[in-house]
Structure 1
């Protein structure tokens, strides 16, 4: 009977030791990294996807500035369909409308998600954005609206070059200072596309 009890105790001890070894391997197999201890009382580091949803003041400023800026560009482009003489000017204006309309909705959605106010409508933006971001003053918009034919083409190209240059500057600030990855990506697209359009518009102005 004594030998039997000894055998039972030895078997139980071996089983306990094996169980402990398995548990230690599960907890210690990943080393001392934060990920190895996730679920064991230590919070895991933020994932790349969650970090990508962060935003800062530069992102808010970019969205609030670019919305009225895009609205004015769309308003300017909308005039070209009935006032422009050049087919290329009309085509350029149509591309601007097609690109910037959806971006306005995206920028507005970000501001709403961040608990920020979306800028009120209007081609002049309701702010002094024209002095810092290449936006046209109300008088310049009136001048463009009253012109037609070759005069419209020249005024439109001249104004839109200045307008695009302002957008590129704003987008450059967002790329260097923003934290919201989608906003920085949009800014990069703006720099690329509008820089190309600036070169084309300057070429058209030189040809007139």
Structure 2
């Protein structure tokens, strides 16, 4: 009886307590659903409805069109090349930032996040301006027969610029957790530098590298 008397006021107080200054679950959930509906669900629904209205024959003709295949080849091909480049150089940048102390290290560390701060449209315009035939870098590459702007090579450079921070920021925290004593123990047991990297460091970094 006493427990019920104590619990009832407590529940009443919990039920009628003052609301938080931060918006509640209902408001935030409604805003999130409205945002997702307007930005994602409605455009995707229109795309699916338009594709379904074509019929399988027309859809297959469009899907196997030469322009569609070339677009897919360029998209997936450049993305694969850029990801391979970022895996190598992103891991190296993370290694340098974690294992070495040098003047300007904080500046380099901040520069890694620059693609995060720039909108993709601004980054694309800036890269196009730099690598255009009359740009600062493009006019130096043009005598060598290298045209970057408006080519698959330019797409790869843009994707490398955008994707490098994802690899660095994913690998960097995992690399900071690896104890140097493990590497020293492997070295004292006769392991070479290549064996330390491939058998000691890489197995722990592989999930982070793939995620990045």
TM over 0.5: no
- TM norm structure 2: 0.23
Q: Tell me which protein shows more helix as a share of its residues.
A: 2
- TM norm structure 1: 0.23
